[in-house]
């Protein structure tokens, strides 16, 4: 990879095709096609990830002409967020927990993101919509956990985050708040004492780190994760199985061992969703099963995440294992959702 100029190291994100061209991540002859990609899907690579620079990191954030390829199975809402939205900005798929989409802003825009159609659109959730969402949670006593996502909830300022958590903590039946975030890895400078202090409410906070390649765990990211762990905040990780990024036993072994050593429990390994323009990242389910089988026994039990499929259409997550998934021949599978209902999934990469 070409060395980055000083301004990329000192804080300027790469947000245009020209930025990626200037820093040697794309070729001049790709400019016209990548300009079309940028019209469809936002671009952003944080300085931390640009400086990391390895192919396994870069592939996740650098735009590709392959994103212009659309397949019949591609979906604009692959996991069915909108299917279970009782009010704007809220997804209520499971009885005891909800997803609150507090922002559409991220520090990076992953090229395989299942929300790539909407991230970056309107910034933070407007006050009127946030009030509706909190009112819904307050009048639904079965809700025990609120999952903050987006976008990335940790792009919020410490002040805004503190205010939001105080409002959630005022709802008596909510006990846990969970953050799904890339920030501690891709923008570790945001993990400040003020932000960590904002997480301290009567609610039990959990942070789920999204990271896919061991080279993302830079010295700065390591320090940010240590700050969170030292503050007593439990940390989990979720990763996406991505062709050309981490679909090798050695890569996943290094990633999960590194996370475990950093006091982060590997939690989920997601089968890549049917996001539009992301087919070049998808492996087959059989390939994912083989990777997990190869890791089992060679890694300590707490190092192994659960390999899961988010069933298209909004039916929720299902572990990819014999109790939940059965082969139906020629790349077709029957998968059980959390209610025990069966759904047919045709593996487009098979």
Q: Tell me which residues are annotated as active site.
A: 93-94, 97, 106, 110, 113, 115, 273, 310, 317
Tokens representing 311?
A: 């069933």
Tokens representing 108?
A: 């990076």
Kindly report the number of other CB atoms within 10 A of residue 250's CB atom. Answer: 10
> Phi first, then psi: what are they for 173, rounded to 5°?
-85, -5
Question: Contact, 48 vs 188, CB < 8 A?
Answer: yes
Question: Contact, 289 vs 308, CB < 8 A?
Answer: no
> Phi first, then psi: what are they for 7, rounded to 5°?
-70, -30
Full strand arrangement of the beta sheet holding 90-94:
90-94, 97-101, 145-149, 176-181, 204-210, 235-240, 264-270, 306-311, 316-319
Kindly report the number of other CB atoms within 10 A of residue 321's CB atom. Answer: 12
User: DSSP letters along 256-315, please?
Assistant: HHHHHHTTEEEEEEEPPP-BTT-GGG---HHHHHHHHHHHBTTB-GGGPPEEEEEETTTT
Q: Is 320 helix (H, G, I), strand (E, B) or coil?
A: coil
Give the dihedral of Cα atoms 284, 106, 256, 194; nearest 10 deg: -160
DSSP H helices in 214-265: 219-230, 249-261
Nearest alpha carbon to residue 208 among 228, 234, 188, 237: 237
DSSP H helices in 125-157: 127-138
d(CA 69, CA 145): 38
Q: Is 179 helix (H, G, I), strand (E, B) or coil?
A: strand
Tokens representing 89?
A: 């900005």
């Amino acid at each position: 990879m070409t060395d980055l100029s000083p301004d990329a190291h000192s804080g300027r994100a790469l947000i245009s095709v020209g930025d990626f061209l200037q820093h040697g991540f794309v070729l001049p002859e790709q400019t016209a096609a990548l300009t079309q990609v940028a019209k469809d899907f936002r671009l952003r690579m944080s300085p931390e990830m640009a400086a990391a620079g390895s192919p396994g990191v870069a592939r996740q954030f650098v735009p590709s002409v392959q994103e212009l390829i659309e397949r019949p199975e591609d979906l604009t809402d692959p996991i069915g967020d909108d299917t279970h939205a009782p009010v704007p900005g809220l997804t209520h798929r499971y009885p005891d927990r909800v997803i609150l989409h507090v922002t559409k802003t991220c520090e990076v825009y992953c090229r395989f993101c299942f929300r790539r159609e909407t991230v970056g659109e309107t910034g933070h959730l407007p006050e009127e919509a946030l009030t509706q969402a909190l009112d819904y949670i307050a009048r639904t006593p079965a809700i025990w956990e609120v999952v903050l996502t987006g976008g990335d909830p940790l792009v919020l300022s410490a002040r805004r985050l503190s205010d939001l958590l105080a409002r959630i903590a005022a709802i008596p039946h909510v006990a846990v708040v969970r953050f799904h975030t890339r920030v501690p890895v891709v923008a570790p400078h945001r993990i400040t004492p003020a932000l960590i202090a904002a997480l301290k409410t009567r609610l039990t906070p959990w942070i789920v780190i999204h990271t896919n390649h061991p080279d993302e765990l830079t010295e700065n990211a390591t320090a940010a994760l240590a700050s969170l762990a030292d503050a007593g905040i439990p940390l989990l990780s979720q990763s996406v199985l991505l062709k050309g990024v981490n679909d090798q036993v050695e890569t996943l072994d290094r990633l999960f061992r590194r996370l475990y050593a950093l006091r982060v429990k590997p939690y989920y390994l997601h089968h890549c969703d049917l996001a539009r323009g992301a087919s070049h990242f998808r492996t087959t389910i059989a390939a994912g099963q083989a990777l997990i089988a190869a890791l089992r026994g060679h890694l300590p039990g707490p190092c192994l995440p659960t390999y899961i499929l988010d069933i298209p259409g909004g039916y929720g997550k299902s572990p990819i294992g014999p109790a939940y998934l059965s082969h139906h021949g020629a790349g077709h599978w029957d998968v059980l959702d959390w209610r025990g209902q069966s759904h047919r999934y045709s593996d487009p990469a098979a």
